[in-house]
Every structure is written in C-alpha cells, then in structure tokens.
Amino acid sequence: MVCFKRTIFSKTLIVYIEAKLYANNSRAFDCIFSTFNTAKCEIIFGGSMYIHSMHKYVSKERLTQYTISCNESNNQWVLRLIGSLEDWYADILNCTIIHGSCVRLNGKNVLLIGERKSGKTTLTKYLVYEKCATYLDDDCIYIVCDEYLGFNMPISVRQKILDSSNENIICPLC
C-alpha cells in the first residue's frame, strides 16, 4: 500500500492507495497528490481515504468512511477520482469552496472567478507557462482560516483525460 499525507492547520489528510493500482498509474497519482508527502502509514485511520481498484476485494478492516473504487477500464476514472477527492477535502476541512482557479504571481495569490467556459483554465495555463506563476489549483479553491488553498490538481483542458501523450495537462511533475 502507498500512503500520502498532508497537514493543513489542525487537520491531517491521509490517503492510502492499493499498491497495484498505484504501480499501474503512478504518474497520475503522483500528479494528483503532489502537495502531499509520502508517508509510512500502516494503520488506516477513520477519517482517511482508501483508494482501490474496482476489481479488488476490500476487507472490513481496510474500509473507512471514505473509500473510492477506481474502474481503470473507464477512461474517465481519473476525473471521477479527482471529483471524489474534492468532495472529501471539503468534508474533512469543513471549509468554503469557490469555483475558480488560483495561481501565485509576484508573491500574491491571484484568484480567477468566472462562469463555466469563460477562460479561467486557459488564463491559468497562460500565467503558469508564460508568466512563471505558481499553480495552486483549478476548479476548486478551498478557503480555510481566511487563506486560499489548492491541492495542485492537474488541469484538464476541455475535460481531456490525464495521460502521458496529452499536452493539454498542467501537471507539477511534467
């Protein structure tokens, strides 16, 4: 099992990923959890997230309140995983969520808000690639203790799936 851990103020987010699922999709998981640290976690905690293959039997001791089954045969599974993680983050952090993008440029966080398909993601991509802004997140910005937080989720322009041949993805490890 692979474990990722991130502490935000007084909350600790722990994600467990089935070893084989991680091995088959390490690039995607490393990208999605780029703001987390890898950790040695042997015991599954009640508020943690457990991510496993849809075809794997999950014993009762592995089940937590938060469990995601990934169907790797569906090419949209990464997008569904990201959506489930966003819901989990909001639940654990008990925070306000804004639909928008956020980058750090010249020492300040820039929050981009607009209607769907208004160009937020395109502008975010431009600021990161052309103006050397630090990418914080796209789609869900979390406001915790009056600070903007992002999880550095990959940007999928026009809902394209995350894969190594797609040049329209912003990934911190690319």
Domain-wise residue ranges, the chain: 2-93, 96-170
Q: For the chain, what is the mean pLDDT?
A: 82
Task: Let me know: does 100 contact 112? Beta carbons within 8 Å.
Answer: yes
Confidence of residue 131 (pLDDT cuts 50, 70, 90): very high
What strands lie across the sheet with 147-149, from one edge to the other? 108-112, 96-105, 134-144, 147-149
Tokens standing for 101?
């993008």
- Higher pLDDT: 72 or 55? It is 72
Q: Residue 144's CB: how many other CB atoms inside 10 A? A: 15
Q: Where are the beta strands (DSSP E) in 18-126?
A: 37-38, 49-53, 66-70, 96-105, 108-112
The pair phi, psi for residue 115, each rounded to 5°, is -65, 165
Q: What CA–CA distance (Å, rounded) separates 79 from 48?
A: 20
Looking at domain 96-170, its CATH architecture is 3-Layer(aba) Sandwich (3.40)
Query: Over 50: is that where the pLDDT of 159 sits?
Result: no
At 139 the pLDDT is: 83
Interstrand relation of 108-112 and 134-144 (parallel, antiparallel or unpaired): unpaired
Sign of CA dihedral 75, 93, 95, 7: negative
Longest dimension (CA), the chain: 49
Give the bridge partners for 68, in sequence order.
51
Is a pLDDT exceeding 80 seen at residue 80? Answer: yes
Query: What are the tokens at 120?
Result: 């937020």
Find the helix or strand (DSSP H, E) in which 32 lies. Answer: helix 26-32
Q: What is the dihedral of CA 75, 77, 79, 81, to 10 degrees?
A: -170
pLDDT for res 21: 95
